[in-house]
Amino acid sequence: MTTKEVARAAGLSEAALYKYFRDKEELFLAVMGIRLRPFIGMVLELPDKAGSETVSERLRAIAGEAIAVYTDSGLLAMALFAEPALLARQRAALGSGGPHHANRMLSEYLRREQSLGRISAEASPAAAADLLLGACFQRAFFAAFVGDGALPQTEARFIEETVDAVLRTLV
């Protein structure tokens, strides 16, 4: 992502970009913020949703959103690895709220469902959350890396099978 490309995509001159953002980093973070906000909102509300809908429906919804956001922004975030200064500053700014926070929220949701007796008392909420979101994260990476079509399953089928497997963990 170069400033020239961003400017062309925005229909602005490069100079105009600098009226809206101090530098490329600020612009980058703004874009990330916009793309992430809906998902973050959804994830933050997640624990309070325990008890409503079925767990299966809930996980399916989360998986879909996760793949979407990981595809959009996860890949942008990966590009951070090419600019270590930015990465370091991000790490610092994140504080406790890194991308693994989503896993924590999903884990907490599952813990509450456990309290409600809707899933097995022996299940591990944290592990289930890591498995589900991890699988979605990797799927987004694969799709970007080799192309959506090169993957063995459609996204819908992937979600269905993956959530079903996670549910087996929870019974």
Partner DNA sequence: TATGAATGAGTCTTCATTCAT
Partner DNA sequence: GATGAATGAAGACTCATTCAT
- 90 is an interface residue for DNA by CB under 7 A: no
Q: Give the chain's end-to-end CA distance (angstroms, integer).
A: 46
Tell me how far apart the alpha carbons of residues 32 and 92 are, in angstroms, rounded to a whole number. 16
Selection from DNA, its own copies, none that 82 binds (CB < 5 to 8 A by kind) is its own copies
Selection from DNA, its own copies, none that 43 binds (CB < 5 to 8 A by kind) is none
Residues 6+ apart with CB under 8 A from 121: 114
- 161 is an interface residue for its own copies by CB under 8 A: yes
Tell me how far apart the alpha carbons of residues 38 and 21 are, in angstroms, rounded to a whole number. 22
Whether residue 162 contacts residue 135, with contact meaning beta carbons closer than 8 Å, is answered with yes
Count residues binding DNA (CB under 7 A).
15
Selection from DNA, its own copies, none that 4 binds (CB < 5 to 8 A by kind) is DNA
Characterize 48-74 residue by residue with b for buried, 16 or more Cβ atoms within 10 angstroms of its Cβ, and e for exposed.
Answer: eebeeeebeebbbbbbebbbbbbbbbb
Tell me how far apart the alpha carbons of residues 24 and 3 are, in angstroms, rounded to a whole number. 7
- 89 is an interface residue for DNA by CB under 7 A: no
- 151 is an interface residue for its own copies by CB under 8 A: yes
With CB under 8 A as the contact rule, the residue among 23, 53, 98, 116 that binds its own copies is: 98
- 12 is an interface residue for DNA by CB under 7 A: yes
User: C-alpha 14: how far from its chain's center?
Assistant: 30
Residues that bind DNA in the complex, under the rule CB under 7 A: 1-4, 12-19, 23-25
Residues that bind its own copies in the complex, under the rule CB under 8 A: 1, 75, 77-79, 81-83, 87, 91, 94, 98-100, 103-104, 123-124, 126-128, 130-139, 141-142, 144-147, 150-153, 158, 161-162, 164-166, 168-169
